[in-house]
Amino acid sequence: MSTPMNKPDLLTRLRQVRALVLDVDGVLTDGRLHFTEQGEEHKVFHSRDGHGIKMAQKIGIEVAIISGRASPALRHRAENLGITHCLIGVRDKGAALETLTQTLGISMHECAVMGDDVIDLPMLNRAGVSATVADAPGLIRARVDWVTRLGGGQGAVRELIDLMINARDAWPLVLADYQ
């Protein structure tokens, strides 16, 4: 996991986050697109990312998706995780993020965003905390507040959520159901 030493106020900003906004392809998945001969799309998600999303929700962080691609698999996964704000087929992700923050009644500095490519820059540039995955292009890694140790679809979202839980000293609340 990347350390936030070059961003001393990162943990302070993470404490203020009320919404975590995620891209999908390359963040929640490894970015590869799988199609059947009939054209049906398949996506593979990591279970630790899913469990991390549930933990974030437990400590009061709204989790949302803003994705450039639409797919039934994504809708199903979002429903399975209780993600009610799932904006898909979005071209202008910056405008979508602004609309989402208005809907949630929060400011941009209360959002953490994780994306992995140039289409995500309008969101990453506006967010209070921006993050990307280890295998994102160098251009993206150089422009965010934090880079995960893991690649997209390999538990990278969980890394960010664990950091958010640490920043809030919220592990007792998260672990209460497992004691």
pLDDT digits (tens, 9 = 90+) for 97-133: 999 999 999 999 999 999 999 999 999 999 999 999 9
The stretches of 30-145 forming alpha helices (DSSP H) are 47-58, 72-80, 93-104, 121-124, 138-141
Question: Is CATH 3.40.50.1000 what the domain over 9-171 is classified as, yes or no?
Answer: yes
pLDDT tens digit sequence for 48-95 = 999 999 999 999 999 999 999 888 888 999 999 999 999 999 999 999
21 contacts 64 by C-beta, under 8 angstroms: yes
Amino acid symbol at 177: D
pTM reported for the whole predicted model: 0.92
